[in-house]
Structure 1
């Protein structure tokens, strides 16, 4: 069962696992999904270029929305669209209101269920291959917007701006982005004062198949933001670690992100044979963080940075 949970979690990571407004006054003139510093209100119909480079026209402000992935759902709720959301994935767990929404499947989307909910807008995601299901949704007359698979903070802001524009919540999206940018800047400013960087190893799954996060990942970006060193930064993406190499690199802090399915995650790392002389083990600096906050490319990703900062530099981020 643990092996199955680990594989499922890693699969969720690979997919990324991983807003109502008032009257619409100003016609959106461009078709890009980028973030703009100037707030615009969406007038419908509106055309948006989605992650598949398709121009998607949304004729009216959506009243019923189905979200196929948790990050899209969290963005929609943060934009005030909770009442409009009628369907979410089986993986959705935040905010608590999602528990009352219809479930439309996991990695295998129940296309028939989505169609039966008769949404005005389906929020899909570039990380999820719907296969023939995408065309089936379109053939059923549904408007499907494929949101970009964000790998950087700027791309998260783009995702928020896209969903805001598609739902008539451009002001809410703009406010949310500015708030996230402000909080992120505050964390960076505080981290910049740290003179002695700590070496960090992040574990996204435990033994025997220990996976970590290399460069060009959100977690690596977060570690850099808090002015720490990712000891797996010489590799790319999500990789299975070489235990001997990690022991030699001697991390000061070990972060685990799988405590949600392994309540002994920290205990197991602290008792790992052969790691006794690693600084993080000797000093009991093994901390589990909320996986959703540090892996989902949505509004809570900045909270994830702050949680990571508190775990690595508790004396600075109190």
Structure 2
């Protein structure tokens, strides 16, 4: 009996000692996890502070080039609709449509967007406050240079939470390849026009004029300040372009140009059969396909250095 009592006493002592050695967990240094913010303040290209969702899920693009850029950075599945002007990529065909010309805010509200994307080349910044009052924050982009396109890709990647770096770097590499191929070549006097009726063109401050320069041409409408210009027949005759590029499709018939501007028969470009048409979307939309336009321009201006695609 005494031995049993001693054994129990020893076991209790051992158990008690073990319990005494284990101190309760110290929670004084454990900080509470901060909640993940649902929105973030960003500064757009117009210098406006815009509160946007951390990961927008219902996005509307108010310009076709921005739609193409959203797809280009792998965020096409976030688009909740497409404008009546959107026609590329083909995936836009399955999206609900809304109007931007004129802009109809009610049509946007129905699609319940949490972020709108706009560009000051097409959309009016004065609409931003009205749209924000309706619960639709608007982030504005601007495209004055070719480099603004890959920059916009990176910005969209940040806004959407996608990896835009490969697309941006691929765009930049193709532009650099064109520059390398045409370096040192003579620069033909080049006239880039948007159509063949009213002679709309790009001014010196436009990304499209820079595209001509990158492609190895002397861009004649650099004579006009700003982003846009309207030309006269007299000005074109005096400028005497050696190459005329019309943004009217690659099946454009140069005879149509002479029907509307018969005095142009005297131009070097006409006399030497150097009037060509290109896909208008390549150069009129500063998006992923702008580099296609630069390569096509380079192939027209320097076929010995840049083979056609």
Q: For residue 87 of structure 1, what is the aligned residue in structure 2?
A: 81
1:70 aligns with 2:30: no
| CA-to-aligned-CA distance 1:239-298 (integer Å, 9 cap, x gap) | 2223233223321111001349xx765221245422223221112111111111112121
Q: For residue 269 of structure 1, what is the aligned residue in structure 2?
A: 257
Which has the higher Rg, Structure 1 or Structure 2?
A: 2
8 Å CA contact 1:48, 1:166 repeated in 2:
no
Specify which structure has the higher proportion of helix. Answer: 2
Aligned-residue offset at 1:100: 1.3
8 Å CA contact 1:48, 1:162 repeated in 2:
no
1:174 aligns with 2:174: no
8 Å CA contact 1:218, 1:295 repeated in 2:
no
Q: Secondary structure at the match of 1:274?
A: helix
Q: For residue 19 of structure 2, what is the aligned residue in structure 1?
A: none
8 Å CA contact 1:46, 1:166 repeated in 2:
no
CA 1:85–1:250: 2 relative to 1, 3 Å: same
Structure-to-structure mapping, 1:73-222, within 5 angstroms:
73-127=67-121, 128-129=123-124, 131=126, 133-142=127-136, 144-169=137-162, 171=163, 173-194=164-185, 196-207=186-197, 209-222=198-211
Moved over 4 A (4+): none
Aligned-residue offset at 1:151: 0.7
Structural RMSD (CA): 2.3
Q: For residue 284 of structure 1, what is the aligned residue in structure 2?
A: 273
1:47 aligns with 2:41: yes
8 Å CA contact 2:188, 2:217 repeated in 1:
yes
Q: For residue 17 of structure 2, what is the aligned residue in structure 1?
A: none
Q: CA–CA distance in 1 between the matches of 2:73 and 2:38?
A: 18
Q: Secondary structure at the match of 2:262?
A: coil
Aligned residue pairs: how many?
Answer: 269
| CA-to-aligned-CA distance 1:51-80 (integer Å, 9 cap, x gap) | 332322333312211111111111100111
TM-score (norm 2): 0.79
8 Å CA contact 1:69, 1:88 repeated in 2:
no
* Runs of 5+ unmatched residues, structure 2: 1-36
Q: For residue 21 of structure 2, what is the aligned residue in structure 1?
A: none
1:308 aligns with 2:297: yes
1:250 aligns with 2:240: yes
* Runs of 5+ unmatched residues, structure 1: 1-42
Aligned-residue offset at 1:45: 4.1
CA 1:158–1:307: 2 relative to 1, 3 Å: same
Q: CA–CA distance in 1 between the matches of 2:238 and 2:128?
A: 47
